[in-house]
A and B are shown apart, each in its own frame.
Chain A
Amino acid sequence: MAKKRSVVPFGPQHPVLPEPIHLDLVLEDEKVVEAVPNIGFIHRGLEGLTEKKDFRQMTYVIERTCGICSFGHGLGYVETIENIMNVEVPERAKYLRTIWSELARMHSHLLWLGLISDAFGFESLFYQSWRIRERVLDCLELTTGGRLIFSVLEPGGVLRDINKDQEKEILKQIGLVEEELKEVEKAFLLDYSVQTRLKGVGIITKERAHEIGCCGPVARASGLSYDMRKLGYEAYGNLDFEPIISNDCDSYARCEVRIKEIHQSIDLIRQAFAKMPEGDLSVPVKGFPKGECFTRIEQPRGEAIYYVKANGTKMLDRFRLRTPTFANLEGLCEMLKNCEYADVGILCVTIDPCISCTER
């Protein structure tokens, strides 16, 4: 007897999703045959705002592309403007930007650890991860004044400094994060019930990940050594690190990569504080940009590409942003093929979807 096919709508309002995304799941009994994503619930028309706001105001608009990767988006945009205008940013500002983007990466990954444990029903692990995350948010609030959206970037440098007391406090807090994470990660990596939900589920092979252009932790968990920080933008060129990869290709590998990246970020912050020179925070930027430029940076979720075309007036001609989740959605559709219906919720979370970025 031929199996009957049925189409089940998933989302946009769904308990496992903090953000709305709609998937049409084609099912054969309990097996998912195909998943068709339907996006656009958070499309605001952010790129269109370039017609109404000048290029300095756009820094703050672009930070609000997403509340989780806000620092990364601002960084990508100001870097693109600086590249067009040939501005050399002071050394200290480069280090400060590196420190803040690593803190942002830590809070994003800890947030993901919470969401995944919520998705497989481990409530106390969710609470523990988010409790640790509050330490990172406290550091960010101490130095920038904001918990999620910081507004400390400007073309030419940064607006705030980190003084000695704040440095001491940050180093103390990330030390505590490291200790507490070591306790919590045992549950993620060794717990039997967690492994049954993650191991061997949602496989993307190395070849396939390369073909469909996955990026960030999803690509690195499939064995691709692919990290934009290796390009050496800001102060990353002076810091010592290697991309973290895993060859397991499943959900467990993605979890492992993210946990190790939190440790890596802690290490990078320590290195950056040790090497940070004294000096100015920003250089004055005069005139308006003219020309066009692409910039690639590594967001917590993967590689983001920024494109700016400027015409020499204060308004930009075009701003374009390719977000990591856009690349990884193809990976999600790949994973969902031939998976169990009950795994759909977890698999959606494993790519760390940021729908706000993707739809803008």
Chain B
Amino acid sequence: MANVKRSPWLLHYDGSSCNGCDIEVLACMTPVYDAERLGVENTGDPMQADILLITGGINAQAEPVVKQIYDQMPRPKVVVAVGICACTGGVFKDAYNIKGGADTVVPVDIYVPGCAARPQSIIDGIIQARELFQKRSEEHDAMVKAGLTYEQYKKMKDEEEAKKVAAAKAEEDRREEENNG
């Protein structure tokens, strides 16, 4: 799958934000900022979406909805948290109904700060997201070629990662020993 980054579908969901970031996400799609020139297009259907933009710190009622939307999206997928509320909970962090950040509910890949996040920074987030999407879809292709399920592939990748970490640690220990000895 070459160059899928040129045409990902964008899905936006408001998980209890103040509306400011949602309007800025929409403003990104209009002529002045025009994120559509990057090949992304807004959709309302989670089943065909590639990049999920979440705004707002998630509240108790929105939590199952966000989880459901995330599960409905096909793999590979990228999640972008737009606005400081989606990053950490922001000004509403202490409010009783806020979980505090989108990453408490779904895994978030890219954080776009700001209150409200400016269209320029949202577009920057989208550009980073589509690079990541390209990388993930190449991995996904490799996975399909190898005939593995996502769980098997993830396990394999985790093991590889663990091996790498162990090797790096062994290398460090050896160097330290040399320095000491």
Contact = CB atoms under 8 A, between A and B. Distances in A.
A15 interface: yes
Contacts of A168: none
A43 B14 CA distance: 12
Interface stretch (B15-23, B105-113, B147-155): B15-23
A15 B91 CA distance: 28
Interface of B: 13-14, 16-24, 26-27, 30-32, 43-46, 56-57, 59, 61-62, 65, 69, 91-92, 94-98, 115-116, 118
A51 to B, nearest CB: 9
B31 A41 contact: no
Given A46-B95, A49-B95, A147-B116, A354 B65 contact: no
B181 to A, nearest CB: 57
Interface string A21-57: 0000000000000000000111111101100110000
A134 interface: yes
Contacts of A114: 30
6 contacts: A15-B45, A19-B14, A44-B97, A48-B95, A66-B20, A68-B23
Contact of A42 (B30, B59, B96): B59
A41 B61 contact: yes
A126 B46 CA distance: 23
Nearest to A15: B44
A65 interface: yes
Nearest to B90: A64
A356 B30 contact: no
Given A18-B14, A20-B62, A48 B21 contact: no
Interface residues of A, number: 41
A43 B59 contact: yes
Counting chain B CB atoms within 10 Å of each CB, which of A15, A48, A52, A356 scores highest?
A356
Contact of A148 (B23, B56, B57, B59): B23
Given A44-B98, A64-B18, A111 B46 contact: no
Contacts of B18: 64-67, 70, 149, 356
Contact of A127 (B13, B21, B24, B31): B31
B69 to A, nearest CB: 6
A90 interface: no
A14 B44 contact: yes
A41 B20 contact: no
A226 interface: no
Contacts of A61: 91-92
Contacts of A42: 14, 16-17, 56, 59, 62
Most buried by A among B18, B26, B44: B18
Nearest to A354: B19
A131 to B, nearest CB: 5
A356 B116 contact: no
